[in-house]
Amino acid sequence: MDYEINVDQAKSLLASANPPLLLDVREPWEYQTAHLANSTLIPMGEVPARAHQELDEDRHILVLCHHGARSLSVTSWLRQQGFEKSQSIAGGIDHWSRVIDPTIPLY
């Protein structure tokens, strides 16, 4: 399983009958500014303390941030912790807004 997927692949997975968990690792103010429906907010700095309590190691997890750097870093960390089905959404919510859903604000 690749560490990254593109927004088109993510959109298809999220629309499937058994969608992955969408993990948003941005800060609360960023989430309030723009976010995807049904996403779970755990800011990047809180992931190490919360991951094993709040995330399922066996579930497919898509990780989202602003441009894709934080989500890729969190994905790498999650994989090291045994969350083998975690993937970063390349380009982040910024790319999602530009390609998939222009109603989501850019910031």
Query: How far lies 13's CA from each of 9, 10, 25, 32, 89, in Å?
Result: 6, 5, 19, 24, 11
Instruction: At 71, list the tokens.
Output: 């989500």
Which residues have C-beta within 8 Å of that of residue 57, sequence separation ≥ 6?
82, 83, 84
Active site residue 65: yes
Q: Which of 65, 74, 78, 93 is catalytic?
A: 65
The whole-angstrom separation of Cα 105 and Cα 10 is 19
Which residues have C-beta within 8 Å of that of residue 70, sequence separation ≥ 6?
25, 26, 44
Active site residues: 65
